[in-house]
Amino acid sequence: MRHPATEQYVDAAPGVRLWTERRGAPDATPLLLVMGATASGIGWPEAMVDALADHHHVIRYDHRDTGRSTTAYDEQPYRVVDLAQDVIAVLDALEIPRAHLAGLSLGGMLTQLVLADHPDRVLSATLMGTCALSAHPYVAPDGTSLPVAELPPIFPEVLEMWARPVEDAGTEAELDRRVAHWRVLGGGQLPFDEAFFRDLERRVIAHAGTYEASTAHGRADDSGMERTVELARNEVPVLVTVAPAEPVFPPPHPQHLAQVVANARLVEIPGMGHALPPAVQGPLVTAILEHTATAAARQAR
């Protein structure tokens, strides 16, 4: 069902305001969605947010330098770890002591930082399309140990697209560029839903009031993110999605993540890449809701 949304700006740091949106019953257990790099909260598809809001009080928000949140990286540079602290700032401002977290891509890294540094604020975590913030090697099924640096890299076609200069040729040209980007990120196992992603990006642009693409997160200092020890002693229930078509953090990145984060388990989402098309939303919502329900039952015991 379609849920009414409540919008609110929160102060995350001096001179930094973040746009937030809440859906679902206010007394339902909170679920905070954490998006990826340079992506606003509108990147979480409407149908997916509403399906989750049937069971949770769902919060999504715009990172700094995305959507309607403060755009000030050039005047106020920040570190990636500061974006993780924004997660806590959102929970504090909305007076939410603890929440389920679900993070995609960079959002999955930020969720790991919160797990490591503020486990008391997390009921459960779902990590999608991301890599482990751990130096422990990956151990293959045959017992072979593989250093983190030797795990599969980002696919060349993704890197090539990221390396292209972004030219200002108007809204429609920018939409074409973004749709082409989603086609590559989709991974190719599922038919590409061009209409869905074009509509998604139209709403992202309308929400932000500009089609200009931010590069702030790519320029932010990403030092100090490793949390090997803290993740190894994690006690919060963690779900790691396996996306077989993932081109950014391809398998066995999720298997490695489930090895180095204690109390983690895996679930495969058939055909999924580094995107959230309609074909994966149903299985993904089901997996998240089963995970949050299991975590709640465990906590009740």
How confident is the model at residue 58, as a pLDDT? 98
Of 60, 83, 68, whose CA–CA distance to 216 is shortest? 83
Tell me the CATH number for domain 5-155+214-300. 3.40.50.1820
**What contacts 134, CB < 8 A, 6 or more positions away?**
148, 226, 227, 228, 231, 232, 260, 261
User: Cα–Cα distance between 270 and 287 in angstroms, integer?
Assistant: 12
Residues 197 and 8: their CA atoms lie apart, in Å, by 26
HSE at residue 50, side-chain half, CA atoms within 13 A, is: 8
The pLDDT-based confidence of 105 (bands split at 50, 70, 90) is: very high
What is the per-residue pLDDT across 216-241, written as a single tens digit (0 to 9) for each? 999 999 999 999 999 999 999 999 99
Cα–Cα–Cα angle for 292, 42, 62, rounded to 5 degrees: 85
Q: What's the CA dihedral at 40, 267, 277, 114 to 10 degrees?
A: 0
Domain ranges of the chain: 5-155+214-300
pTM for the whole structure: 0.97
Please tell me the predicted confidence (pLDDT) of residue 165. Answer: 86
Instruction: For residue range 134-146, list pLDDT tens digits in order.
Output: 999 999 999 999 9
Q: According to the model, what pLDDT value does residue 55 have?
A: 98
pLDDT one-digit tens code per residue, 173-220 = 999 999 999 999 999 999 999 999 999 999 999 999 999 988 999 999
Beta-bridge partner residues of 18: 10
What are the two backbone dihedrals, phi and then psi, of residue 99, each rounded to the nearest 5 degrees?
A: -150, 155
